[in-house]
Amino acid sequence: MKFDILTLFPGMFLGPFDESIIRRAREKQLIDIDIHNIRDWASDRHQVTDDAPYGGGAGMVMKVEPLTACIESIKTLHPASTVVLTSPRGRRLTHQVATELAEREGLIIVCGRYEGIDERVRTLCIQDDISIGDVVLSGGEIAAMAIVDAVTRLIPDVLGNDESAESDSFGDGLLEYPHYTRPPEFRGLTVPRVLLSGNHELIRKWRRRESLRSTIALRPDLMAELALTKEDRKLLAELERDDASSSCC
SS3 string, the chain, reads CEEEEEECCHHHHCCHHHCHHHHHHHHCCCCEEEEEEHHHHCCCCCCCCEECCCCCCCCCEECHHHHHHHHHHHHHHCCCCEEEEEEEEEEECCHHHHHHHHCCCEEEEEECECCCECHHHHHHHCCEEEECCCCCCCECHHHHHHHHHHHHCCCCCCCCCHHHHHHCCCCCCCCCCCCCCCCCEECCEECCHHHHCCCHHHHHHHHHHHHHHHHHHHCHHHHCCCCCCHHHHHHHHHHHHHHHHHHHC
Encode pLDDT of 87-145 as tens digits. 999 999 999 999 999 999 999 999 999 999 999 999 999 999 999 999 989 999 999 99
Q: What is the pLDDT of residue 173?
A: 86
Q: Which of 4, 122, 141, 153 is catalytic?
A: 153
pLDDT of residue 136: 87
pLDDT at position 190 is: 95
Active-site residue, selected from the candidate residues 115, 149, 172, 238: 115
Residue of 129, 168, 172, 176 marked catalytic? 168
User: For this structure, is 79 an active site residue?
Assistant: no
The pTM assigned to this predicted structure is 0.87
Cα→Cα distances 158→2, 22, 73, 95, 172, Å: 14, 9, 29, 16, 19
In this prediction, residue 249 carries a pLDDT of: 56
Using CA atoms, how far apart are residues 237 and 249, in angstroms rounded to an integer?
19
Question: What is the average per-residue pLDDT within 228-243?
Answer: 93
Q: Quick one: pLDDT band at residue 242, thresholds 50, 70, 90?
A: confident
- Would you state the pLDDT for residue 225? 85
Residue 115 known to be catalytic: yes
For 49-72, the pLDDT digits (tens) are 999 999 999 899 999 999 999 999
Residue 12 banded pLDDT, cuts 50, 70, 90: very high
pLDDT in tens, 36-48: 999 999 998 999 9
User: What was the pLDDT predicted at 165?
Assistant: 60
Looking at beta carbons, which pairs linking 180-186 to residues 24 or more positions away fall under 8 Å?
Answer: none
Residue-averaged pLDDT of the chain: 93
Q: Residue 199: what pLDDT?
A: 97
Quote the pLDDT of residue 55: 95
Distances (CA, A) of 54 to 39, 118, 162: 22, 10, 50
- pLDDT tens per residue, range 139-194: 999 999 999 999 999 999 999 765 466 556 566 789 999 999 999 999 999 999 99
pLDDT value at residue 243:
81
Active-site residue, selected from the candidate residues 10, 16, 53, 88: 88
Domain architecture of the chain: domains with CATH: 2-162 (3.40.1280.10), 185-248 (1.10.1270.20)
157, 159, 163, 167 alpha-carbon torsion, rounded to 10°: -140
Confirm whether 168 is a catalytic residue: yes
Q: Are 14 and 141 in contact (CB under 8 A)?
A: no
CA 217 to each of CA 28, 157, 170, 210, 239: distance values in angstroms, whole numbers, following the listed order? 40, 33, 15, 10, 11
